[in-house]
Amino acid sequence: MKYPGLYGSADGASNTSQRTFLNLVRAEYAFLIVASFLSLDLWQNRSYYLVYAGVFLCSMGVLVYRSITKPEQDWYQARALAESVKTLTWRFAMRAEPFDDAVAADARTDFRNQLAAILRSNRHIGHAMVSPDSAAPQTTEDMVRIRELPLEERKSLYLDKRIADQRKWYEKKSADNKASAKKWMMVGIGAYSLGFLFILFRIIDPAMPGWPTEPLIVVASTLIGWTQIKKFNELASAYALTAHEIGLTEGLITDADTELKFSAAVNEAELAFSREHTQWVARQNS
């Protein structure tokens, strides 16, 4: 289904802001790791220390820039906006509350009013949403065409393109985050173990030339910081629970044999998606 132009703008803004934020974090950590190796005083000359100072200054500059621009805030808020528009779109196309025939005298007008209200409440991220999608229609032909389908066809489409698609996405993200948590934990353990080994060598022979323990400590610290930013374990658990919750709503959709029951079932499913999006934004801001 073709989504409104507002969804495309918000989705693009979220993806761009996410890449910007994560790239800034990577750059900051990379500069810190390089600075930690330069702190070993490998050479004794002015040029060496100028490079050392420059790298350290770059790391601080990235930190200051990220703190001022706060791209993560645009990422979280644009994603929440995009998912809110997607939820409204599916409600409209499925004739579900608040766009069901029993309530909405003019569903298109009500949909446009809902979009306008969402846009007004998110004007503060307008600078991040400049894209060609701003000229795209807000009530697409697909939305109207699907809305006119018989109940059984709408049910089949919703089960396949919304419920099954979202469930697969959450299951995949849960598995990916679980695997990433394990991978980064093993890398962190490796860095700590190597640093501990270097310290043991110095205990055995204190006269032994210095080993790069300090850079390993910085590497281990950046790994901890990265896992905290990405929240792999927390997201793996949250996504798995949401996938199960979506599975429960699937039965409600399948059993709905009237427009009223189908509207209530879609409402329940979309509330499940909305809860996850709200909790996701809260987790990212915590």
Mind listing the pLDDT tens digit for each residue in 263-273?
Answer: 999 998 888 88
Helix axes 232-255, 213-230, angle to 10 degrees: 20
pLDDT at 191: 83
In angstroms, rounded to a whole number, what is the distance separating the alpha carbons of residues 126 and 9?
A: 9
Q: Does the reported pTM lie above 0.85?
A: no
The pLDDT of residue 241: 87
Least confident of 122-126, 245-249, 280-284: 280-284
Rounded distance between C-alpha atoms, residue 96 and residue 283, angstroms: 29
Residues 6+ apart with CB under 8 A from 230: 177, 180
User: Which H or E run includes 78?
Assistant: helix 71-93
Q: Which tens digit of pLDDT belongs to each residue from 212-247? A: 777 888 888 888 888 888 888 888 888 888 888 888
Residue 210 in this model has a pLDDT that exceeds 70: no
Q: Are 40 and 152 in contact (CB under 8 A)?
A: no
Give the per-residue pLDDT at 68: 93
Once rounded to an integer, what is the mean pLDDT over residues 146-154? 93
Per-residue pLDDT for 283 more than 70?
no
- Whether omega for the bond prior to residue 71 falls within 30 degrees of 0, making it cis, is no
* pLDDT value for 133: 63
Share of the chain above pLDDT 70, in %: 91
Q: What is the pLDDT of residue 105?
A: 60
Q: For residue 174, what pLDDT is reported?
A: 92
Please choose, from the candidates 280, 227, 256, 75, the residue with its C-alpha nearest in 3D space to the C-alpha of residue 155.
Answer: 256
Q: Is 234 exposed, middle or buried (0-12, 13-18, 19+ CB in 10 A)?
A: middle
CA 272 to chain centre: 17
